[in-house]
Structure 1
Amino acid sequence: MIDLFRKMPLLAFTCLLSGVVLATEPEGPEGIVAGTETTIETLSAETIQEVVVTAQFRDVSVLDTGNSISILDSQQIERRQARHLDQLLNLVPNVNFSSGASRGKFIQIRGIGERSQFIEPLNPSVGLLIDGIDFSGIGGAATTLDLRQVEVLRGPQGTLYGANALAGLINMKSNNPSDVFEGHIETSIADYETRTTSAVLSGPIADNLGYRLAVQGHRSDGYIDNEFVNRKDTSNIDELTARGKLHWRVSDRLQLNFTGFYVDADNGYDAFSLDNTRKTLSDQPGHDRQESTAFAVESIWHATEQFDVVGLISYADSNLEYSYDEDWSFAAICEGLPCEGWEYSSFDRYQRSRYNGSMDLKLVSSEAGRLFNGASDWVLGIYYRRQNESLLREYTYADGDFTSDFDTRNRAVYGQLDTRLSDHLKLVSGARIEFRRADYLDSEGVRHNTSERLWGGRLALEYSLTPETLLYGLVSRGYKAGGVNSNPELDSGVRDFDTEYMWNLETGIKGDWLDRTLQVQLALFYQMRRDMQVKQSLVKPITGDLCPCSFIDMFDNASKGRNYGLELMFDWLAKEDVQVYGSLGLLRATYQDFESLSHVDADPENNVAVDLDGREQAHAPSYQFSLGVEVALTGQMSAALEMEGKQQFYLSPRHNARSNRYELFNARLEYRLQQWDFMLWGRNLTDRDVIVRGFGGFGNDPRNFYQTEPYYQYGEPRIVGATAKYRF
């Protein structure tokens, strides 16, 4: 049994301090806008459920908003037995992730997003919110305990979220307090000593006060055998998550929602093998750790008959460690071999402390407050965010420890008008002006200060062809702030990189057809990137003139980039007891007018600039898809089978190594008996090796005298498990 309560004193203190929880909300006071709440209206058993998007200024059906959005609900999360966001992302068209750690923590939407972080500060391209709390750039916190749904908004969210949402936004919403007392206990076992135990309690404290508490422990030995230290758990998973929410209806006009969140991930990291297998030789296995404590307070005040005042204050404090054995081997690997004397030994550790606090205050019009003779709903808001990140790097081949401090402050004013031009046509216009200041200082004496004024927004036309069919077209502009390259080995002339801007053109159709048994979303998009930020890694021999090599990370700007494609999602209730669902993403993402500074495949011993004009961008597969069917076999038993696939893609602009193309199969068999649920499930049933991170253009194996070759990290192999849940 997993020891869920080993940190309960800290959790209890967090709960008392912040009024904790994450949950299903009692209906608010009449007239109060639900702000960021999620509702799913259950229709007839013979129709598909309506899903509501909460990561907008108003709650709205996903089929009634002109934007490419995917919603993964609790049923889909349970169907896959996903414990982390990275186990869900393959269901979403044109969304990819990069690992290089214990989890797929770095996300790309339509080919745009970071793939790793080492010494440099990071400005994320994909925003990540967990119950309104900002975790952009540190996706290790994205566990799935008691989630209601995951919303993926593709394309720049310049009005909604600003600088950290150039590519899009992922909004994770947990369940809210229930009107009646309820809960469940769940436990599961699976291959590789995988164990998960969770518990949820929810209900009313008083007529105007509701709570929800949830806790989960998840452990696994991981999928690596370290043959040198004779251990099977050097890439283990050990994650504890606690969520809680308290909803207080203070009066008929005021609602207060308190949220608390805690995650402690004490995971191992020992992923790369000199032989490109799941068997490693590291004598110093690393770690991928994250401990985060966060809280948020949301207030919804029905100030007047014309508008509501919605405020959100959040804070998150995170401590992170990322470390690894750089040589992937042991000191005596060449003893008695021709390569004796060629080996090296190196360990690299990055310890970060990060906190961020934000305040978002907006006025949201009610029906009585509409402008222009009742034609226009409106939103007007102000936003403030401050984030500080300090780094300590301990590296074997450095003269001393490296430290840095990166402080950013964002202030923004934003607004949106939703104007009814006719019974069928609506114009959505929004804009955001953001003022950003960033201060950087490190132990090498490098000081960098920037101030920027950034702007973004969207202009969309939505046409209701019928009550069940929406056509839309939009133009949106997003931005990603410039920054500083912090590696002390870089020349001063390449310290800075510029702000990136992107124009997004999109059109689509959404429908709820065949008597509400078929829901379809289809979107076409074309994105023009200017001063595109591209991560580079200059190669430097550790000793002498030849590899083994270390990498000097830096960001550079390509003049342009082009990302365009198609996204299709559907959900079809083919029969009363048969549901078919799926997605398809097609993507073409290329560099324009760009020379890579370190394309070392051309010459492994030198950093050679190579023209990448027209080459595909990294982590941008040309297609990916998912297809599933769920069948009710009896009144108590159901079965589901899923297939997902992805085309190969470049792993970096620095080299030509690629991932592998793959198709995976997942299955689940569920039996329900009164309050009990029993599930047998499996992922990657054909046991395909899936590349989730890789390097090329350098050598790291002294046994072949550091000949250049690619190296890969593999994702989850076949895993089969069983789950039991008791509801009360």
Structure 2
Amino acid sequence: MWEKALMKSKTCSSTTNFILRAAISGALFSTYTAVQAQESMLEEVVVTAQKRSERLIEVPISITTLSAETIEQSGVRELKELGDLTPNLMISQNSDFGTNIVIRGVGANSRNIGFDSRVGVYLDGVYLGQSPAANQGLVDLAQVEVLRGPQGTLFGKNTVAGAISLTSVKPGDEFEGSVGVIVGNYDNLELQGSVNVPLTDATSVKFYGNSTTRDGYVDNLFNGDQANERDAVSGRVHLRSELSSSLEMNISADYMEQDRLGFNGEPLTDTFGFFRPEEGKDKYEFSQQTVLEDKELKGASLTFDYETEGGYLLKSITAYRDSEITYDADPDYDSAEFLGVIYTDTYEQTTQEFQIISPDDSNFKYVAGIYYYQQDSATDRDAIPGLGTVFFPGAGVEVPILAFGIDPTRKAVDIDGTVDTESYAIFANGTYDLTDRLTLGVGFRYGEETKDVDWNIDGSNSGAFRIATTNVVDSRTDDSFDPTISLNYAVLEDSYIYGRVSTGSKSGGYNLDFINVDQVEAGIEFDQETVTSYEVGYKGEFPDHNLRLGVALFYSEFEDYQVNQYVDLGGGRTALSITNAAEVITQGVEIDVTYQPTVNLQLTAALGFLDAEFDSFPGGDAEGGDASGNKLPYAPELTASLGAQYYYPLPAIDSSLLLRADYSYTDGYYITASNDEGHTLADGSEVAFGEVDSYGTVSARIGLVSDAETWEVSVWGRNLTDSDHQNYSFRDFFGTILGGYAMPRTYGVEAKYNF
């Protein structure tokens, strides 16, 4: 297994090898020099991955943690930017409508109400919902934890790839607050403020608000619009009350609204994928109808924590989430009003979780719980023909949509329907100290999930595209038992080696999208997938506590892996398909290093090496060929990041100069299960499709911070080299090849005042 992975590493580019050697050499150099630094110590990192506060190095799970300071000083503002700081984490950069989060090469977007994501995003233990709700603003957070591998025994909602846990800042006992402003190029303006108010000795409330506007950076030559902008308003209120010496109550509510000119990709071809487009040949120019993307997210939670006289903690989490996204697409990617599609998807969910957490002062520590999840999802999608014409190379003329047998006076396709999901789960996770050095961990999750579907599609006016006309009324139930076991051994006082075997499952579902007649005949239901993951690792802090090192080696086998992709129907036609691959294998290594040689200087390095492929997937590529042996989409062999942060004291003005720089590298990767390496047009030329080349980005910050932490002013920049690398491509309904490119260099000034 590992020999195979090492052989593949030899094929990396010279840049890849240089970064790999630099990361490993940096770790070895840090080990050598750590003994020379006696005056500096790393702050202890405490995580709640196992539902109790524990030191990071003692938890037998591959975890990357990001503190509030790291998030703020690195300039990361949205969830989709976390991949810059986290090995083996990829998050799609295009529309929020189908946000795709990939951990260790495994992920999925849920642009389809019958298909679930593989990575769960949680805020204070509450599952935030499907893809439209995933890209949260990273504000007012105390910590972010990225957990890799199946996590069903720790979180009520089963997650086969991993989990991203966001922990907010709780209200405190003092009256305090902050105001901040960020201005930058592209007319970027962000205003934020918070205030913490103690209402009584036992009750406090905190308010937080944020408003962000930024012009787009993709010019629409057709109408002068600037696409891919930001225009969002969000807020949060959190009340904490100690109802008694043993009972605490937390009530929180949050809201986010985003209305923007969206962007799904740069057309690299004409509508039907035969030639290059006549207009919009620059990477940041296009010519078509502007698409709109409106998103509204809101939710509330009620949490009770009760500590018994015996030290047991009883917890209840009741939560409600509501997500709605409307996306106005232009699938012909032309300025003519040929065909438009309007999507509106809504997700309304209620969750209830009860936990019992044992005391910390015993050899056997555990958390056990029951979880209830209920989600009502609905979709309304209309394909609306227009009176415009597009150039059709096969005929050499401009053709109206009538030429494809579609009546422009009525909808081409009409979709509406619901999927109601109800699931129950019981879970437990515990550790037992076999000796002073050896700890056994065991856990399980048993869950049952039922999906009731009532869905209609009317493609009677779709003409040559043969979209189906049918009604699906059905129900399916999946159940699973997912155990986990681990051993954690203390080699030294602060050095641990561990082994872990974990399992997980993802329920089956239905392909409820723009499907054709043949797909209905073949069946649109897909099966449950399962995973077994093996992991061994090391976590430790060296004697002077100025060097922290984490290493994890993993191997995961997925059975009946669910694949969501466009398949080629020929003649410039495609269809959305969801099928089960027989087997997928992912394996690799993750390394995290934090080194603090002096009190004021901290260095970080992270490395992820990955080999993720379809071990068996006959008939799985876009044209029906065998995809066995192909790489998984969005699974680069190497991801790496390097960071340095330094505070230079300025006692004359009671402040410090902050210097920070971050470098992120991503190896090349495929976009499709077919592992396409470009697309040949009718004239013999090539467009970049299916494969993304390696790229790297640099970010930096220079600031002035008061020693009393009452104010801070800084100058920042992201993608300072102005790299215009492609980070995604895909083929849309008519066969159009599209690509997306990195956001150009951004820079600005940030000021913050704390009171």
Could you tell me the TM-score, scaled by structure 1's length? 0.85
Correspondent of 1:393 among 374, 381, 385:
381
Q: Percent identity?
A: 27
Distance 1:324 1:697 in 2: 11
The equivalent residue for 2:401 is: none
What per-residue deviation string (whole Å, max 9, x for no partner) do you get for residues 220-279 of structure 1?
1122111110122x3211111111211110001211111111111112213423346444
Correspondent of 1:143 among 137, 151, 155:
137
Q: 3-state SS of the aligned residue for 2:73? A: helix
How far did 1:401 drift? Answer: 2.1
State yes or no: 1:637 paired with 2:657. yes
Distance 2:522 2:453 in 1: 16
The equivalent residue for 1:511 is: 540
Correspondent of 1:60 among 32, 39, 54:
54
Stretch deviating more after TM superposition (575-584 or 278-287)? 278-287
State yes or no: 1:538 paired with 2:551. no
What per-residue deviation string (whole Å, max 9, x for no partner) do you get for residues 391-439 of structure 1?
0001125534210101111101112221110001110100010011111
How far did 1:304 drift? Answer: 4.3
How far did 1:508 drift? Answer: 0.5
How far did 1:46 drift? Answer: 2.4
Q: 3-state SS of the aligned residue for 1:477? A: strand
CA gap 1:120/1:259 in 2 versus in 1, 3 angstroms: closer
Query: Superposed, which structure 2 residues align to 1:292-371 within 5 Å?
Result: 292-305=297-310, 307-331=312-336, 345-367=338-360
Correspondent of 2:718 among 675, 679, 683:
683
Stretch deviating more after TM superposition (669-678 or 214-223)? 669-678
User: Amino acid of the residue matched to residue 580 of structure 1?
Assistant: L
CA gap 1:58/1:199 in 2 versus in 1, 3 angstroms: same
The equivalent residue for 2:618 is: 595
What per-residue deviation string (whole Å, max 9, x for no partner) do you get for residues 259-314 of structure 1?
11111111221342334644444442112221111011111112341522111011
How far did 1:62 drift? Answer: 1.1
What per-residue deviation string (whole Å, max 9, x for no partner) do you get for residues 331-388 of structure 1?
2xxxxxxxxxxxx8221221011111101101112257xxxxx431222211101011
Distance 2:176 2:426 in 1: 41
CA gap 1:575/1:45 in 2 versus in 1, 3 angstroms: closer
Distance 1:565 1:697 in 2: 32
Distance 1:118 1:453 in 2: 24
The equivalent residue for 1:158 is: 152
Distance 2:533 2:365 in 1: 24
Distance 1:356 1:67 in 2: 29
Query: Superposed, which structure 2 residues align to 1:421-440 within 5 Å?
Result: 421-440=434-453
Are the aligned partners of 1:191 and 1:719 in contact in 2 as well (CA < 8 Å)?
yes
The equivalent residue for 2:529 is: 500
The equivalent residue for 1:664 is: 697
State yes or no: 1:463 paired with 2:510. no
How far did 1:716 drift? Answer: 1.6
What per-residue deviation string (whole Å, max 9, x for no partner) do you get for residues 459-484 of structure 1?
00011111210111010001111111
What per-residue deviation string (whole Å, max 9, x for no partner) do you get for residues 628-662 of structure 1?
11122333102111111000111121451111210
Correspondent of 2:105 among 94, 108, 111:
111
Tell me the number of residue pairs that the alignment of Structure 1 and Structure 2 aligns: 644
Correspondent of 1:187 among 181, 187, 198:
181
User: Amino acid of the residue matched to residue 520 of structure 1?
Assistant: L
Distance 2:182 2:510 in 1: 45
Give structure 1 stretches of 5+ with no counterpart.
1-43, 332-343, 369-373, 600-607, 702-709
User: Amino acid of the residue matched to residue 512 of structure 2?
Assistant: S
The equivalent residue for 2:23 is: none
How far did 1:597 drift? Answer: 4.4
Distance 2:79 2:694 in 1: 21
User: Amino acid of the residue matched to residue 585 of structure 1?
Assistant: G
The equivalent residue for 1:371 is: none
Are the aligned partners of 2:154 and 2:429 in contact in 1 as well (CA < 8 Å)?
no
Distance 2:211 2:115 in 1: 29
State yes or no: 1:569 paired with 2:602. no
User: Amino acid of the residue matched to residue 714 of structure 1?
Assistant: Y
State yes or no: 1:491 paired with 2:520. yes
CA gap 1:118/1:510 in 2 versus in 1, 3 angstroms: closer
Stretch deviating more after TM superposition (609-618 or 419-428)? 609-618
Query: Superposed, which structure 2 residues align to 1:219-238 within 5 Å?
Result: 219-232=213-226, 234-238=227-231
Could you tell me the TM-score, scaled by structure 2's length? 0.82
Q: 3-state SS of the aligned residue for 2:166? A: strand
User: Amino acid of the residue matched to residue 497 of structure 2?
Assistant: L
Distance 2:51 2:487 in 1: 17
CA gap 1:573/1:597 in 2 versus in 1, 3 angstroms: closer
The equivalent residue for 2:266 is: 273
The equivalent residue for 1:615 is: 630
Q: 3-state SS of the aligned residue for 1:457? A: strand
State yes or no: 1:722 paired with 2:745. no
Are the aligned partners of 1:518 and 1:570 in contact in 2 as well (CA < 8 Å)?
yes
Correspondent of 1:239 among 220, 232, 250:
232
Query: Superposed, which structure 2 residues align to 1:17-36 within 5 Å?
Result: none
The equivalent residue for 1:130 is: 123
Q: 3-state SS of the aligned residue for 1:77? A: helix
CA gap 1:100/1:49 in 2 versus in 1, 3 angstroms: same
What per-residue deviation string (whole Å, max 9, x for no partner) do you get for residues 13-66 of structure 1?
xxxxxxxxxxxxxxxxxxxxxxxxxxxxxxx98211112112322121111100
Are the aligned partners of 2:113 and 2:378 in contact in 1 as well (CA < 8 Å)?
no
The equivalent residue for 2:461 is: none
Are the aligned partners of 1:145 and 1:241 in contact in 2 as well (CA < 8 Å)?
no
CA gap 1:699/1:686 in 2 versus in 1, 3 angstroms: farther
Q: 3-state SS of the aligned residue for 1:510? A: strand
Distance 2:601 2:631 in 1: 39
User: Amino acid of the residue matched to residue 695 of structure 2?
Assistant: Y
Q: 3-state SS of the aligned residue for 2:107? A: coil
Are the aligned partners of 1:643 and 1:663 in contact in 2 as well (CA < 8 Å)?
yes
What per-residue deviation string (whole Å, max 9, x for no partner) do you get for residues 574-594 of structure 1?
222221112000000010121
Q: 3-state SS of the aligned residue for 2:267? A: coil
Distance 2:520 2:351 in 1: 35
Q: 3-state SS of the aligned residue for 1:161? A: coil
CA gap 1:627/1:596 in 2 versus in 1, 3 angstroms: farther
Query: Superposed, which structure 2 residues align to 1:575-590 within 5 Å?
Result: 575-590=598-613
Distance 1:579 1:122 in 2: 42
CA gap 1:140/1:65 in 2 versus in 1, 3 angstroms: closer
Q: 3-state SS of the aligned residue for 2:612? A: strand
Correspondent of 2:190 among 193, 196, 199:
196
Q: 3-state SS of the aligned residue for 1:75? A: helix
Aligned alpha-carbon RMSD (Å): 2.0
Distance 1:311 1:324 in 2: 42
